[in-house]
Structure 1
Amino acid sequence: MQITLRYYAAAQAAAGVAEEPLTAPDGASLAQALEAALAVDRTAAVRDGAASARRDAPAFAEVLRRCSFLVNEVAAKDRSRPLADGDVVDVLPPFAGG
């Protein structure tokens, strides 16, 4: 199945991209999709000159641990929640302010 991950603020900085498609096994959970995102190899993009595609893997993993998530614009508090083909996951790091 194909899902889209959209990153905001610190998540975007650590991911090196604002948005990316991700192929995951049918029925994968949100947690499994996030693990797959951590494993994305951006070597080819960097080699081809897309410096913005650099992913700071340790920082990205740390940010993901603190993030909240929306799936199709609805809060997803359970990371074991299964995803469906075409789902859009927004990755939201903690924001300052009230």
Structure 2
Amino acid sequence: MTTLRFFAAARAAVGQDETTTSAATLDDALRAVAASDTDRWAALQERCSYLVDGVTTRDRSTPLAGVDTVDVMPPFAGG
């Protein structure tokens, strides 16, 4: 299982801090998230960066086999 952790605007759109998934790819995992604000979540995914076990990516076809944690990082002001 992979833990998805949501930060800032992603946390607000999803409505929770984290969830777990057994999805094969990052894209599959993101599509399966049961967000509280589905429109906001759908739009936000395109702007996020993802830390896959600490390595940054924007490639949503990234496989999640053997991955412990994915941090969902929306754009931050000033950073």
Q: TM-score, normalised by structure 2?
A: 0.87
5+ residue gaps, structure 2: none
Aligned pairs (5 A) from 1:2-21:
2-21=1-20
Write the distance in 2 (CA, Å) between the matches of 1:19 and 1:87.
13
Change (3 A) 1:74 1:5: same
Residue type matched to 1:11 in 2?
Answer: A
Write the distance in 2 (CA, Å) between the matches of 1:85 and 1:22.
12
1:89 partner SS:
strand
Cα offset, 1:77, TM superposition: 2.9
Write the distance in 2 (CA, Å) between the matches of 1:77 and 1:63.
13
Residue type matched to 1:36 in 2?
Answer: A
Write the distance in 2 (CA, Å) between the matches of 1:86 and 1:65.
21
Q: Which of residues 82, 89, 96 in structure 1 aligns to 2:63?
A: 82
Number of paired residues?
79
Change (3 A) 1:15 1:95: same
Q: CA RMSD in A?
A: 1.6
